[in-house]
Structure 1
Amino acid sequence: MVKIVVKIFGPKYFGFDQYDVITLQLDIGGTATVGNVIDELERRYPGLRQKLLKGEEIIPMHDIWVNGRSITFLQGLKTPLREGDVLQIIPPFGG
């Protein structure tokens, strides 16, 4: 099991009933990748995946970071995760 932290920014956008950042601690069994985490989050919060991904690609203007780096510049959904990693889910922001 790999323990990671997931932070969901702008949770209201993703259908949660709160505005503050949601912080979760997850235990991921087997091979821990960003894709596995998204699958686990979808099991817990149905509909989250379709608001974040189109197929296996991040919807433009959304982002997923691992330890402060966009997975776009890593290995995408196949980015491996290690014990203590922080995965951040970021919706589009306007200003």
Structure 2
Amino acid sequence: MISPMKVIVKFLATFYDIAKTLRTEIEVPDDATISDLLKTIDEKINPSISKTLLDGDKVRDGYNILVNGRAIEFKKGLQTELSDGDEVVLLPPIGGG
């Protein structure tokens, strides 16, 4: 039997407003990817998160997903594999001026 693994998810700025939490631990299957994690977040927390974050099958321009401090665009994008204990951060566009 495949035992689930746990990843830490942090919701910053807009995502905090949607999720109503800053940080949570989510169980995902052993072979889970970022895409699988987002589906689980939709089911367990709020489907508006992936609607806000994704444009079809890619991350919206300006938005970012980090796994252990590294942007998934430098890995395998939404197919980036997760490991037990990984920290995933969802980041909306950062405004400034």
Unaligned runs of 5+ residues in structure 1 are none
Q: Aligned ranges for residues 76-91 of structure 1 at < 5 Å?
A: 76-91=77-92
- Structure with greater helix share of residues: 2
Counterpart of 1:9 (choices 12, 21, 34) is 12
Distance 1:84-1:92 versus aligned 2 partners, 3 A rule: same
Amino acid aligned to 1:40: T
Runs (4+) off by over 4 Å: none
Q: If the length of structure 1 is used for normalisation, what is the TM-score?
A: 0.87
Q: If the length of structure 2 is used for normalisation, what is the TM-score?
A: 0.85
CA RMSD of aligned residues (A): 1.6
**Number of equivalenced pairs:** 91
Q: Aligned ranges for residues 8-27 of structure 1 at < 5 Å?
A: 8-10=11-13, 13-14=14-15, 15-16=17-18, 22-27=22-27
The Cα of 1:58 is off from its aligned counterpart by: 0.6
The Cα of 1:16 is off from its aligned counterpart by: 2.5
Amino acid aligned to 1:8: F
